Structure 1
Amino acid sequence: MRFILLVWFLILDVVQSQSVVKTLPGFSGELPFKLETGYIGVGQSNGVQLFYYFVESERSPRDDPLMIWLTGGPGCSGLAALLYEIGPLRFDYAKSSAGNKPTLALNPYSWTKVANIIFLDQFAGAGFSYSTTQEGYYNGDYKSIAEIYEFLRKWFRDVHPEFLPNPLYISGGSYTGLTIPVIIQHILDDNRAGQQPQLNLKGYVLGNPLADVTSDLNLRITFAHGHALISDQLYECVGKLFDENILEPHCRSSESHKPNTFQWARNNLGDGLEPINERTATQLPAEPWCREHNYILSHIWANAKIVQEALYVREGKKTGWMKCNISSTYAYEIMNVMDYHQNFTRTGLQALIYSGDHDSVVPYVATEAWIERLNISLNSEWEPWFADGQVAGYTMQYTHNSFVLTYATIKGAGHAAPEYKPQQSQAMLKRWFAYYPLLRADQHSPS
């Protein structure tokens, strides 16, 4: 009997495991927030092991909303969003310069100030997620959707049922604009059918999202011409711009952001977190600063054995961590999710859609165009909204019965808007969660 119980617990540990992270290499002292990492098995025989980071709200975990954040790509790690966009930590670039180890600092504009957030490495091969079979690495839109939804239900049912009453928001950016609506529809359908546990879905948050691939990409022409970057006749020159932010230089880049991509060598990490080699750091290309250079730090940090041990990553399951693992075998199956968005207008969901207005990957004019095609009532016209006394962007609000869609641009932001404008992005989210209009901040506004 004892042997049977031992085998059962060993199997359960492989299917799912969770650990609380108290300290992290590169951060001084204990973490002042609760960070949990773990794996949840999904798919056939739980052969796909999805890795996640869960950060409890720094305000009121039992009362604040719960967000699951799905990073785009497809194939980008949830850690990228945690460290570069909306999480409670960020790299201190000054202290992480040549001769120093990658150093972490607190992010005062983290979205975890007002929400619990799950950051998910959303299919095998992304981040620290892996598969026990070769078949598990063949990914596509519908397989990824099924795995994410299974993950979410198991997370609530088996790991944190105490968060079931919290308002749930499905969130993400870029490519996940094509997969998140399908996940939302699954939740709505299963809730309606009485499937247990019932998920307390209240809405969704989408940043620079794809919705209609053909239209979204074609409207890059309108965007570029409207910014006086090119004429329509010279659109082929757009390739010389940096799509993610039109004001930043176009750099030689790779989605994986490995150090050797930029000729930035690093010492053998061994068991510890080694300093950046000052001599080899000077071998960076002789070109202006590029945002991708910041991403090298995450590759160095996340591939250090001491970091993976601190995060409770299972040893030997992945050959290495990459910010984005774009696979040539991924099946791009969804091109248009307008029918889903139209369905949502007949629900009581709340939607926040935002765009960095300097992004030409999924330009704001494309997002505005598909929102207009929903043909729902415009409740408030295009007006500026403010953060810290300055225009932070422009906003409109649409309604249809109890459905409310808030659309906002973030002035000067690129493709992952919170990375470029963290203060403004946090102010936007705080007001939206508080049901406070984005339009104008006054002394009563949560800023």
Structure 2
Amino acid sequence: MIVLKFICSITLALLLTVSSVRAAPKESLITSLPGFDGTLPSEHYAGYVTIDGIPGKKNLFYYFIASERNPSKDPVVLWLNGGPGCSSFDGFVYEHGPFKFHVGKPKGSLPLLHLNPFSWSKVIGNLSFQLQLSKFLSNPFYISGESYAGIYVPTLASEVVKGIQIGETPLINFKGYMIGNGITDEKFDGNALVPFAFGMGLISSDIYEACQTICVYDPQSETCQKNIKKFGQAVSGLNFYDILEPCYGNSETKNESENTNMPLGVHRTGVNKKPLPKRARMFGRASPFWTTRDAGASSPGSHGEPDDEAAVGWLNDEAVRKAIHAAPASVAGPWWICAPRVNYSRGNESMIPYHKNLTSWGYRVLIYSGDHDMAVPFPGTQAWTRSMGYKIIDEWRPWMIDDQVAGYLQGYDNNFTFLTIKGAGHMVAQTKPREALEFYSHWLDGKPI
């Protein structure tokens, strides 16, 4: 497979308006990477594409990794991280990219890299702008992402399909998309949080029953707000992105009587007709937290890894930036895993109509969830996928690796599949890399999972 990483992923709806490429493929070829001692396992390209049609033009940075298996035939997959405003290099360095950082590097030195045995590039290539790498134009093309990419992916896929239907060139061999722990619908996502917490044994039956009854009928009442506060106090010390992992950076708030980091779903318990006000922008990997985070800082409980020091150190090293054909920090600014300088606004529309339209046109869709993520809990995703109303053709069952249950799956007609990964958090490929490569490669190859 081939995976393309974008620094500023939220502008990808401009995919079909690319007018020029600043560097030819040969000039974009990466020959070596500081911190990695060895031969790259496949061809890597990086550079900028220029987007017309917006004031002043914009340059988007891309990173392309050719498949290590059969680059001329394997699917090409665009990967997007969430935020909005979070870099897709997050997935590259911490999830499914070809490298991993060495643990325990000497302080102050350049982080060192080693090969990732579960890199998705073993079976795909990562790309988007096929104008630049035309030799991959005939490869099957998929769009993928996680978290707030639950918004990007179906909307971008719809734009790609529109281009195909009106005969835009170059013709993209688009086949489908996949989304992991993706934000989709405010009602389904928000209403899943309290049942998820109760099912995981994180709150008492009294808190659960109070939130599910009182708050449904009167979400603004004092009694409801008191129970929401109790809920927040009960879960405040947890890593919302993976309840099995430690919650880094939350020591100063986890024991406070009033938790200001309650996820949005806490304020959406029950089927509320009048939701409480919510923030228009969220930082920290689609974080539903109410408090604003400084650029580059880790949200309490937001990361499976203790911090982003390695990625920040590596991607802000000028030798690394030169090697990957990125502008120096003096021109493009420093790299942060999530950038508040990206302006983004969103309405309250549901993505479910997009999924219905795309599946009705015959495109393949895989919706997957790490089952220990509390930021976008899997019961909400399971509920909205079921609400599509499609006939079940592969009834709920475990999927296995080496005779062990790796998760559960339910397949619907119209090439629509919902899948869970046992023990995984919000970043599935980071917490369960082997399992992620397994279902990902099987699905893309059209094999049973």
TM-score (norm 1): 0.76
Alignment deviations for residues 224-276 of structure 1 (CA, whole Å, 9 cap, x no partner): 111111132442223332100011222227849999958xxxxxxxxxxxxxx
Aligned partners of 1:178 and 1:335 also within 8 Å: no
2:45 equivalent to 1:31: no
Match of 1:317 in 2: 331
Q: Secondary structure at the match of 1:245?
A: coil
Q: Alignment partner for residue 188 of structure 1, among 146, 161, 164?
A: 161
C-alpha distance in structure 2 between counterparts of 1:396 and 1:210, whole Å: 19
Does the C-alpha gap of structure 1 residues 260 and 334 become closer, same or farther in structure 2, counting only changes over 3 Å? closer
Pairs within 5 Å for 1:83-102: 83-94=93-104, 96=105, 98=107, 101-102=110-111
Aligned partners of 1:208 and 1:355 also within 8 Å: yes
Match of 1:132 in 2: none
Pairs within 5 Å for 1:13-412: 14=22, 19-43=28-52, 44=54, 47-94=57-104, 96=105, 98=107, 101-118=110-127, 152=128, 155-157=129-131, 159-231=132-204, 232=208, 233=210, 234-237=230-233, 238-252=235-249, 255=284, 291-315=304-328, 316-327=330-341, 329-333=343-347, 335-399=349-413, 403-412=414-423
Shift of 1:374: 0.3
C-alpha distance in structure 1 between counterparts of 2:344 and 2:411, whole Å: 36
C-alpha distance in structure 2 between counterparts of 1:334 and 1:108, whole Å: 40
Match of 1:126 in 2: none
Aligned partners of 2:86 and 2:339 also within 8 Å: yes
Aligned partners of 1:413 and 1:421 also within 8 Å: yes
RMSD between aligned alpha carbons?
2.7
Alignment deviations for residues 283-337 of structure 1 (CA, whole Å, 9 cap, x no partner): xxxx999734242110111111111111111233222010111348421235411
Q: Secondary structure at the match of 2:355?
A: helix
Alignment deviations for residues 16-55 of structure 1 (CA, whole Å, 9 cap, x no partner): 8851111111111332221100100114366210001000
Aligned partners of 1:15 and 1:49 also within 8 Å: no
Q: Secondary structure at the match of 2:117?
A: coil
C-alpha distance in structure 2 between counterparts of 1:349 and 1:167, whole Å: 12
Aligned partners of 2:80 and 2:146 also within 8 Å: yes
Match of 1:421 in 2: 432
Kindly provide the amino acid, as one letter, of the partner of residue 351 in structure 1.
V
Aligned partners of 2:248 and 2:306 also within 8 Å: no
Match of 2:442 in 1: 431
Q: Secondary structure at the match of 1:345?
A: helix
Does the C-alpha gap of structure 1 residues 64 and 334 become closer, same or farther in structure 2, counting only changes over 3 Å? farther
Q: Percent identity?
A: 35
Q: Secondary structure at the match of 2:144?
A: strand
Match of 1:129 in 2: none
C-alpha distance in structure 1 between counterparts of 2:419 and 2:60, whole Å: 32
Aligned partners of 1:57 and 1:112 also within 8 Å: yes
C-alpha distance in structure 2 between counterparts of 1:432 and 1:260, whole Å: 34
C-alpha distance in structure 2 between counterparts of 1:392 and 1:53, whole Å: 31
C-alpha distance in structure 2 between counterparts of 1:241 and 1:298, whole Å: 24
Does the C-alpha gap of structure 1 residues 116 and 236 become closer, same or farther in structure 2, counting only changes over 3 Å? same
Shift of 1:377: 0.6
Aligned partners of 1:16 and 1:39 also within 8 Å: no
Q: Which runs of 5+ in 1 are unaligned?
A: 1-10, 119-151, 263-286, 439-447
Aligned partners of 1:394 and 1:408 also within 8 Å: yes
Shift of 1:387: 1.6
Alignment deviations for residues 125-155 of structure 1 (CA, whole Å, 9 cap, x no partner): xxxxxxxxxxxxxxxxxxxxxxxxxxx5xx2
C-alpha distance in structure 1 between counterparts of 2:190 and 2:245, whole Å: 20
Q: Secondary structure at the match of 1:391?
A: strand
Kindly provide the amino acid, as one letter, of the partner of residue 42 in structure 2.
F
Q: Which moved more, 1:79-88 or 1:246-255?
A: 246-255
C-alpha distance in structure 2 between counterparts of 1:218 and 1:249, whole Å: 25
TM-score (norm 2): 0.75
Q: Which moved more, 1:101-110 or 1:330-339?
A: 330-339
C-alpha distance in structure 2 between counterparts of 1:355 and 1:383, whole Å: 15
Shift of 1:189: 2.0
C-alpha distance in structure 2 between counterparts of 1:212 and 1:178, whole Å: 9
